[in-house]
Structure 1
Amino acid sequence: MFAGPNGSGKSTVTQYLKQQPNFPRNYANADEVAQRLDGDAMLQSYEAARMVAAQRLMWVNDRQSFAFETVMSHPSKLIQLQQAKQLGYRIEIYYISTVDPRYNVLRVRNRVLDGGHDVPEDKNCAALPSEPSASAISDRDRHQHCAGR
């Protein structure tokens, strides 16, 4: 799992790691799914999150390895981690952040200028409330600070 606030660099890190031979074949990113949906951006976001949650559940039930990105803003991610752990999954979490939340806001603004999705400032800095609980479940967790630019 790649976790961190919007604009922290999760997609940048995963783009690099996806090139590595041990990266799981199954990968889910709700932002990428939302880009392929039509309609209101907020509705796209919620529908994409629902679709990715269903996909993760399918992979867990099929005992397939997978990776995904999340801001960990909803307790359902923690529940899915607990279920996967009970089924024998090895849980690895990469927490990705910047050294200052203001960088996240700037990076999201730049992403929007490049045609990417927006995130309200108040929502952007409200991610990761489940981080300590997720770390307790994980077999391994890493913290990566990305440059603020």
Structure 2
Amino acid sequence: MKRKYALLLALLALVTAFATGIVYVRMNTLDEQRILLDVTVDANYAFDLDTDAFHFGRVIPGGMMTRGFLINNTQDEAVLAELYISGDIARFITASETSVVVGAHEARTVDLTVSIPRNATFSTHTGELRVIFRRSP
């Protein structure tokens, strides 16, 4: 009987800790932005400056391209911007920073660099950049 109560108490403690963690994360999350990413591996370089997504245009095998973007904080408090890259493009792309603290009414630039391996075949690679804004610790 004592063993059942101990197991029940341990399970209750685990559920409470998990729920507290979820509430903490949700309360500290201010906003989330999702931006589509793409790059085309091709025989020539080409730029794509459309604003509907974060296009890297065309990059040759063995080549690289870097594009920057501005994180502008209009809040009266510092924010933490966490960057997550997903999709097929993730294996080719790196961010200069993946966790950026931006002070109140300040701006920071983050660079994304696409590096295409020499043995890459011609094709288009897509993915998503997810930026989660949280209250700075």
Q: TM-score, normalised by structure 2?
A: 0.24
Relative contact order: is structure 1 or structure 2 higher (C-alpha 8 Å, sep ≥ 6)? 1
Higher strand share: 2
Q: TM-score, normalised by structure 1?
A: 0.23
Higher helix share: 1
